[in-house]
Amino acid sequence: MGEPVCLNTECDSDQFVLYPGDGHEPTPDGNEIESDETTRAAVGVVLQCPWGEEAISGRLPLGRDPEFSPVASRLDAFENISRRHAELSIDGRAVRLQDFQSMNGTFVNGQRIEPFVVVPLSDGDEIRLGKDVRLRLRVSG
């Protein structure tokens, strides 16, 4: 098995770690399973934003707090976005969204999601933060 490669610059667990290489993938109990090319295929996740596209790997915190979110400077102009609004995460082939009890809400395809409930997303889903910021999820692979 190859060396682990962190998909997130702040890796502190195996949650967002890839094991490149030889077709054997680790399981949580440390055993290895044979995987096929489909399972190992990279998933490309892009968030279409008002300011352009953001490629996502691991997780993307969304909010106006620069200590929390790498896109805070892009969201700072939107006062109805909370400082720690929500987070997108990728785990294997699954893309998920979680609202962090934001004041003005997080919406998926027009439906407000409950705070702290992890919601699965699909290619083409529209994400709205507060009332002004509309994002579109694009998944390939």
Which neighbouring-strand residues pair with 137? 47
Task: Tell me how many domains the chain contains.
Answer: 2
Residue 12 has pLDDT above 80, yes or no: no
Are residues 86 and 55 part of one domain? yes
Q: pLDDT band at 140, cuts 50/70/90?
A: confident
Are residues 35 and 54 part of one domain? no
Please check whether residue 40 is in contact with residue 22, taking contact to mean a CB–CB distance below 8 angstroms: no
40-61 per-position pLDDT tens digit: 345 689 999 999 999 998 999 9
More confident residue, 88 or 34: 88
CATH of the domain at 129: 2.60.200.20
Percent of the chain with pLDDT over 90: 62
Are residues 124 and 78 part of one domain? yes
Are residues 63 and 30 part of one domain? no
96-137 per-position pLDDT tens digit: 999 999 999 999 999 999 999 999 999 999 999 999 999 999
Per-residue model confidence (pLDDT) at position 43: 66
Are residues 78 and 107 part of one domain? yes
Residue ranges with strand state E in the chain: 5-6, 17-18, 24-26, 32-34, 44-49, 52-56, 59-62, 86-91, 94-99, 106-108, 111-112, 118-121, 126-129, 133-140
Domain that holds residue 109: 44-140
Instruction: Enter the pTM of the model.
Output: 0.69
Tokens (6 digits) for 113? 């999601």
Are residues 55 and 12 part of one domain? no
Are residues 15 and 84 part of one domain? no
Are residues 116 and 59 part of one domain? yes
